[in-house]
Amino acid sequence: MSSPQQLDILAIAAHRDDVEQTCGGTLLAMQARGWTTGILDLTQGESGTRGTAAEREAEATAAARILNVSHREALDLPDGNVENTLVNRLKLGAVLRRLRPRVVILPYWQGRHPDHYTTATLGYEACFVSGLAKVVTPGESNPPHRPFKILYASLYADVRPSFVVDITPFAEQRLQSLLAYRSQYGAQPEGTGIFVPEEEIRERTFATARHYGLLAGVRYAEPFVQKEVGLVDDLILLPVQSI
């Protein structure tokens, strides 16, 4: 998958299949609006309970096609041991300077898996570092770049979202991108206490999206948190009915 000169939206996640679970529908919705989207996976899946890194790479490529993203790549951070170090911040900074996204989507900063919440902090600090003019990133000569907006995909977090994105027209396509990971979600004995049974994936995926859709009066949605205060120009154009 060739790299565009610039992305509008870049979703950064610890593992191949994290984006599909948390914000795949949003990437589809934004691509349909004409925005250029991409995915950066920080690890390659070598330590996963199911599948191999090679299998995960092939599945991620297939899922990227389903999600209509313009670019997807994976770094080589250790799977299961993502750390917020200067070396890793500079690795991410080099990608940010090359792809130059306006919006970055990160995992929520709390969660069960250490890789997930570490990626939230690592990604934020990489966004900051990549904008420092005197910082040199490895293997790249691109000028500094700092994304305008950082959002956190909060699907599995027990928090009230700042907003949700209507993914109703893309709910089925989003599910298919997740099911592309046959090594993870196909019926098999390994990890049965951790992974959702294959026969339950559709129900759980749509039930979660339905819950967040109901909060905003649409059928299916994905939730996000932003740390900064929102700005409204026109009260008349505010969506979502109060009563």
Question: pLDDT tens digit string along 80-117?
Answer: 999 999 999 999 999 999 999 999 999 999 988 999 99
Best CA proximity match to 165, nearest among 106, 229, 209, 104: 209
* Residue 39's pLDDT band (cuts 50, 70, 90): very high
Q: Distances in Å between the alpha carbon of 91 and those of 3, 94, 137, 139, 169? A: 17, 5, 7, 9, 35
Torsion of CA 43, 46, 50, 54, to 10 degrees: 90
Task: Output the pLDDT for position 53.
Answer: 83
* Residue 31's pLDDT band (cuts 50, 70, 90): very high
Task: Output the pLDDT for position 189.
Answer: 58
Task: Output the pLDDT for position 188.
Answer: 61
Choice among 1-10, 29-38, 65-74 with the minimum mean pLDDT: 1-10
Helices (H), 18-113: 18-22, 24-32, 53-67, 86-99
Task: Output the pLDDT for position 193.
Answer: 59
Mutual angle of helices 24-32 and 53-67, in 10-degree steps: 40
Q: For each of the domains in the chain, give its residue range(s) and CATH number, in order of start.
A: 9-237 (3.40.50.10320)
Percent of the chain past pLDDT 90, that is, above it, reads 81
Model confidence pLDDT, tens digit, residues 110-150: 988 999 999 999 999 999 999 999 999 998 789 999 999 99
- Residue 131, exposed/middle/buried by CB under 10 A (0-12, 13-18, 19+)? middle
* Residue 4's pLDDT band (cuts 50, 70, 90): low
* Residue 49's pLDDT band (cuts 50, 70, 90): low
* Residue 209's pLDDT band (cuts 50, 70, 90): very high
If phi > 0 it is left, if psi is from -120 to 50 it is alpha, else beta; for residue 43 that is beta
